[in-house]
């Protein structure tokens, strides 16, 4: 389980032997390598598949064996527009705010994503037989269905303001230096697991897929993340209705039998009777919130955060209590004799001169985080060309290549649309 196997999986994705499902002729076709194309511009026989399930098992990138659990959260801080709302007042509908959750409550957007992923994978890899409940079990353990860090799923199923794990510094976790330029994890020094299904950026590059057909591959989107998790679990051979194959697949996701037991038991409970939390609009102030990025050295904690009222201070019951006794002390130390001399007034000590400390100017360290959009451009966007021979012209995006950071745009010359490939830096979105 390491880099060599990860590279083998990447190589397998480039072959034509993988299990796949093609999109409709008029739909967007997206490969797992991040190359998007408008299927309507290609013959049906040449249309690229929307989903590709690698024919060999995929392993976590960077030689990772066990994904770190998301850490416990700091004290609750509500956004300013909701500063008057107390956590206690939200007790009636905790799932809406993501503060706590019930054992079986699944947000409607997440349930739709898990079920859609099952349908897509049933076509791409019928032999895998993955079901929505297994994906929901992983989603529950990894991020409470996108609600860790006081996140909420918006109408599109994207976690807002975003889910980011601890930096993989090698201190009690795997050591993976930045591999994505902060594109997915907002960290330009270390990699972090991101999104509701907690993908490492390197692993996302192997299996990240567009699960909802919007032309983007966003690990923060529950539809994309659930579909990608299914591709990961279905990679290689295996029938996930068979206990041995199921165990092997989940162990590749996170090499821990405790993890396998937890995920499969939650999945079983979902199959026996699940509840769905109705989708609601985001409360005011959520869309502009800053995501919580745990700092280096954060201790991994349970997948779901503790109650905001929890405390880490030692319990009073653990403090040693004096023992009551009916016997006199048996100490053999000599006891002082009572003094008969009159007490003398004590002199106050002379004040020591105060020496002012030198002032030290702190130099702030450079920020390790960057604010980026995982996919700055989408098919159909209108952009203005800012460099090159077509500078100043407006064009429509036909294709997006997230692996090369280029877009293919349609430039109209003498009434004819000409496809032109340009780097991201040469175009700007037209509001």
Locate the domains of the chain by residue range: 3-277, 382-429
Give residue 209's pLDDT. 96
Residue 353: CA count within 13 A, CB half-sphere? 2
pLDDT digits (tens, 9 = 90+) for 356-385: 555 544 444 444 444 444 567 777 788 889
pLDDT at 399: 85
Predicted pLDDT of residue 320 = 39
The structure tokens 């409607």 sit at 108
Contact 419, 398 (CB under 8 A): yes
Residue-wise burial string across 392-416, b where 16 or more C-beta atoms lie within 10 A, e elsewhere: eeebebbbbbbeeebbbbebeeeee
Region at 286 (left for phi over 0; alpha for psi -120 to 50; beta for the rest): alpha
pLDDT band at 133; cut points 50, 70, 90: very high
pLDDT at 142 over 90: yes
Task: Please say whether the beta carbons of 96 and 152 come within 8 A.
Answer: yes
Asked if residue 55 has pLDDT above 90, the reply is yes
How many CA atoms lie within 13 Å of 223's alpha carbon, on the beta-carbon side?
A: 20
- Which among 108, 110, 124, 95 is positioned nearest to 197, based on CA atoms? 110
Distance CA 308, CA 73 (A): 8
Separation CA 31–CA 36 (nearest Å)? 7
Q: For residue 33, give the H/E element and its range.
A: none
Residue 353 has what pLDDT? 57
How many other C-beta atoms are found inside a 10 Å radius of the C-beta of residue 226? 34
Predicted confidence at residue 284, as pLDDT, reads 79
Average pLDDT over residues 329-338: 45
Tokens of 161: 């303001």
Work out the number of other CB atoms within 10 angstroms of the CB of residue 147: 29
Highest mean pLDDT among 28-42, 101-115, 195-209: 195-209
More confident of the two residues 159 and 403: 159
Instruction: Give the pLDDT of residue 300.
Output: 72
**For the residues 287-311, what does the mean pLDDT come to?**
65
Contacts of residue 49, Cβ cutoff 8 Å, sequence gap at least 6:
20, 21, 22, 23, 29, 31, 124
Residue 365 has a pLDDT of: 43
- List beta partners, residue 266: none
Q: What sign does the CA torsion over 82, 78, 291, 213 have?
A: negative
Helices (runs of H) and strands (runs of E) counted in the chain: 8, 13
Query: For helices 108-124 and 132-143, what crossing angle results, to 10°?
Result: 130
Predicted pLDDT at 322: 39
Say if residues 61 and 203 touch (Cβ distance below 8 Å): yes
Average pLDDT over residues 215-235: 97
CA distance linking residue 166 with residue 219, whole number of Å = 16
Per-residue confidence at 416, pLDDT binned at 50, 70, 90?
confident
* CB-based burial, 314-343: b 16+ in 10 Å, e otherwise: eeeeeeeeeeeeeeeeeeeeeeeeeeeeee
DSSP lists the bridge partners of residue 423 as 406
DSSP 50: E
* CA–CA dist 296, 165 (Å, integer): 10
Q: Is the pLDDT of residue 28 over 80?
A: no
Going by pLDDT thresholds of 50, 70 and 90, the confidence category of residue 352 is: low
The CATH class that applies to domain 382-429 reads mainly beta
Higher-confidence position of 284 and 130: 130
pLDDT band at 149 (very low <50, low <70, confident <90, very high): confident
The CB-side HSE value for 291 (13 A sphere, CA atoms) comes to 28
pLDDT of residue 5: 60
pLDDT in tens, 249-270: 999 999 999 999 999 999 998 9
Q: Is the pLDDT confidence value at 128 over 90?
A: yes
Compare 25 and 73 and report the one with higher pLDDT: 73
Q: What is the pLDDT of residue 4?
A: 56
In the predicted structure, residue 301 carries a pLDDT above the cut 70: no
| pLDDT score of 25 | 30
pLDDT of residue 346: 58
Distance CA 220, CA 154 (A): 11
Mean pLDDT highest for which of 10-14, 141-145, 322-326? 141-145
DSSP per residue, 331-366: --SPPPPPP-SPPPPPPPPPPPPPPPPPP----PPP
pLDDT for residue 323 is more than 90: no
Report the pLDDT value the prediction gives residue 347, as an integer from 0 to 100.
60
Radius of gyration of the chain (CA): 29
């Amino acid at each position: 389980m390491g880099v060599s196997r990860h590279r083998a999986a990447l190589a397998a994705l480039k072959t034509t032997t993988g299990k796949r499902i093609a999109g409709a002729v008029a739909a967007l076709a997206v490969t797992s390598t991040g190359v998007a194309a408008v299927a309507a511009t290609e013959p049906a026989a040449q249309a690229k598949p929307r989903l590709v399930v690698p024919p060999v098992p995929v392993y976590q990138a960077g030689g990772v064996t066990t994904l770190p659990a998301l850490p416990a959260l700091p004290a609750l801080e509500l956004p300013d527009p909701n500063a008057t709302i107390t956590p206690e007042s939200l007790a009636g509908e905790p799932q809406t705010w993501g503060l706590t959750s019930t054992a079986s409550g699944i947000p409607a957007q997440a349930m739709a994503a898990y079920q859609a992923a099952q349908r897509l994978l049933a076509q791409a890899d019928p032999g895998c037989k993955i079901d929505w409940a297994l994906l929901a079990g992983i989603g529950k353990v990894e991020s409470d269905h996108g609600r860790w860090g006081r996140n909420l799923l918006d109408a599109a199923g994207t976690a807002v303001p975003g889910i980011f794990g601890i930096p993989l510094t090698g201190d009690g976790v795997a050591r993976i230096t930045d591999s994505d330029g902060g594109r997915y994890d907002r960290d330009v020094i270390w990699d972090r697991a991101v999104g509701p299904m907690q993908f490492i950026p390197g692993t996302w590059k192997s299996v990240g897929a567009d699960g909802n057909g919007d032309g983007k591959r966003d690990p923060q989107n529950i539809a994309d993340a659930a579909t990608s998790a299914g591709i990961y679990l279905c990679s290689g051979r295996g029938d996930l209705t068979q206990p041995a194959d199921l165990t092997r697949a989940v162990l590749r996701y996170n090499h821990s039998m405790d993890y396998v037991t937890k995920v499969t038991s939650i999945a079983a409970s979902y199959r026996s009777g699940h509840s769905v939390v109705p989708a609601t609009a985001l409360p005011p102030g959520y869309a502009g919130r800053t995501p919580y990025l745990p700092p280096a050295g954060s201790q991994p904690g349970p997948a779901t955060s503790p109650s905001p009222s929890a405390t880490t201070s030692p319990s009073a019951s653990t403090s040693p209590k004096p023992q009551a006794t009916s016997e006199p002390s048996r100490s053999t130390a000599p006891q002082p004799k009572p003094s008969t001399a009159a007490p003398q007034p004590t002199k106050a000590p002379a004040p020591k001169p105060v020496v002012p400390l030198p002032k030290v100017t702190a130099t702030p360290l450079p920020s390790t985080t960057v604010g980026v959009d995982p996919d700055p451009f989408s098919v159909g966007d209108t952009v203005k060309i800012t460099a090159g021979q077509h500078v100043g012209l407006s064009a429509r995006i036909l294709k997006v290549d997230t692996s090369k950071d280029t877009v293919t745009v349609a430039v109209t010359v003498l009434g004819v649309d000409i496809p032109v490939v340009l780097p991201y830096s040469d175009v700007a979105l037209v509001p």
